[in-house]
């Protein structure tokens, strides 16, 4: 299984040779086995990528993330077909009943709120007990929108003087960067398991090609929130993302999450979640969906590595 991420932040030429990514920079060249790579972030406009490498990355299921001029992730390249039973899984996904979708969304919202409570505890903030109490009020489909009420309480407690969506606040930029990395991994996992990212469980925007990804990402978000809370306490002043900021958030998939009784990387958790959604669809049972939990303390993910070619 792929276990490494690559973050390119300096001028480079990327090519493909002998089943390896070849990274040529002013101070020399590096070679990385293609089979080891899960995601590649091209965090500089001064990078060129050969067509053969793009084709090889698509074939290997590698997510290529492209940031904009402000270094905020703005796009992702994913393989077109990556599953042996693509059409079969897609038909099952489209045929899901509304009650099953609502029960799956209930599971997702409960897991998200529970992880938000753990995030507050890990960050030394108040409000965890009140959040955990809210999970009992999340019904099928969350008709009372407990998710939104929990979010208001969560953000009020996690950061001081903070408003989600306030663009000049660098903490929002950090959050969005980390979320984009997670989003790319979940999109990669969905495609790899034959799912259609555009068809969501709860999200149903006609303009969003990743509705399903935006459903599944919800329990993963508190991992990034916790990372940002820790990073913000030591970051240098300023409103723009620095290279250190981007490197820190590029490592979001290295963070540890609990999947049942097992502690795994966020990357592995994304694949396990997508696989379990397929099982839940096949069984017609929302209980088969396996969602990540945020451990009560930060744990190392020794089996993953971020190659920082920067």
Q: What are phi and psi of 301, to 5 degrees?
A: -115, 85
* pLDDT confidence of residue 255: 92
* pLDDT confidence of residue 310: 45
The per-residue pLDDT of the chain, averaged, comes to: 90
Point out the least confidently predicted range of 74-78, 108-112, 121-125, 186-190.
74-78
Instruction: Give tens-digit pLDDT for 28-49.
Output: 999 999 999 988 999 999 999 9
The CA-based dihedral angle spanning residues 258, 261, 264, 268, taken in that order and rounded to the nearest 10 degrees: -90
pLDDT more than 90, % of the chain: 69
Candidate CATH numbers 3.50.50.60, 3.100.10.20, 1.20.1740.10, 3.10.520.10; the one for domain 4-77: 3.100.10.20
Q: In which band, very low, low, confident or very high, does the pLDDT at 74 lie, cut at 50, 70 and 90?
A: confident
Question: Which helix (H) or strand (E) element contains residue 76?
Answer: strand 73-77
The CA distance from 230 to 239, in Å, is: 17
Point out the least confidently predicted range of 20-24, 93-97, 185-189.
185-189
Q: What is the pTM of this model?
A: 0.87
* pLDDT confidence of residue 85: 75
Which of the pair, 288 or 62, is modelled with greater confidence?
Answer: 288
3-state class (DSSP) for residue 293: strand
Q: What's the CATH number for 86-302?
A: 1.20.120.920
Neighbouring C-beta atoms of residue 101, cutoff 10 Å: 20
Residues ≥6 apart with Cβ < 8 Å to 239: 168, 169, 170
Instruction: Give tens-digit pLDDT for 268-300.
Output: 999 999 999 999 999 999 999 999 999 987 655
Give percent helix, percent strand, percent coil of the chain, each to the nearest 5.
Answer: 45, 15, 35
Checking if the pLDDT of 301 tops 80, the result is no
* pLDDT confidence of residue 4: 82
Instruction: Give tens-digit pLDDT for 211-247.
Output: 999 999 999 999 999 999 999 888 888 878 898 999 8
Closest residue by Cα to residue 116 from 161, 151, 149: 151
pLDDT more than 70, % of the chain: 94
Q: Are 38 and 5 in contact (CB under 8 A)?
A: yes
Q: Are 245 and 235 in contact (CB under 8 A)?
A: yes
Instruction: Give tens-digit pLDDT for 78-102.
Output: 776 555 677 889 899 999 999 999 9
Checking if the pLDDT of 309 tops 70, the result is no
Would you kindly state where each structural domain of the chain is located, as residue ranges?
Answer: 4-77, 86-302
* pLDDT confidence of residue 307: 56
The CA-based dihedral angle spanning residues 127, 268, 67, 113, taken in that order and rounded to the nearest 10 degrees: -20
How many Cα atoms within 13 Å fall on the side-chain side of residue 301? 22
As a whole number of angstroms, the longest Cα–Cα distance in the chain is: 57
Residue 48, beta-bridge partner list: 13
The CA distance from 189 to 268, in Å, is: 9
Residues ≥6 apart with Cβ < 8 Å to 178: 224, 227, 228, 249, 252
Q: In which band, very low, low, confident or very high, does the pLDDT at 71 lie, cut at 50, 70 and 90?
A: confident
């Amino acid at each position: 299984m792929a276990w490494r991420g690559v973050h390119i932040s300096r001028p480079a030429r990327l090519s493909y040779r002998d089943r390896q990514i070849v990274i040529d920079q002013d101070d020399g060249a590096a070679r990385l086995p293609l089979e080891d790579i899960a995601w590649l972030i091209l965090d500089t406009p001064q990078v060129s990528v050969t067509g053969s490498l793009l084709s090889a990355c698509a074939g290997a299921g590698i997510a290529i993330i492209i940031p904009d001029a402000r270094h905020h992730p703005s796009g992702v390249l994913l393989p077109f077909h990556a599953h042996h039973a693509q059409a079969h899984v897609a038909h099952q996904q489209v045929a899901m009943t509304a009650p099953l979708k609502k029960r799956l969304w209930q599971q997702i919202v409960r897991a998200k709120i529970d992880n938000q409570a753990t995030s507050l505890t890990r960050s030394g903030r108040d409000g965890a007990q009140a959040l955990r109490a809210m999970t009992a009020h999340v019904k099928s489909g969350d008709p009372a929108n407990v998710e939104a009420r929990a979010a208001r309480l969560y953000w009020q407690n996690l950061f001081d003087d903070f408003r989600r969506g306030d663009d000049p606040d660098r903490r929002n930029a950090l959050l969005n960067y980390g979320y984009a990395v997670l989003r790319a991994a979940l999109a990669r996992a969905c495609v790899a398991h034959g799912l259609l990212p555009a068809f969501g469980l709860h999200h149903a925007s006609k303009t969003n090609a990743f509705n399903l990804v935006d459903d599944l990402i919800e329990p993963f978000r508190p991992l990034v929130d916790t990372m940002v809370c820790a990073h913000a306490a030591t970051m240098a002043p300023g409103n723009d993302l620095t290279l250190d900021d981007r490197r820190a958030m590029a490592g979001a998939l290295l963070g540890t999450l609990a999947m049942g009784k097992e502690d795994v990387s966020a990357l592995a958790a994304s694949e396990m979640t997508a696989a379990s959604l397929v099982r839940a669809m096949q069984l017609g049972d929302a209980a088969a969906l396996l969602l990540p939990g945020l451990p009560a303390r930060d744990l190392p993910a020794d089996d993953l590595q971020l190659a920082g070619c920067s």
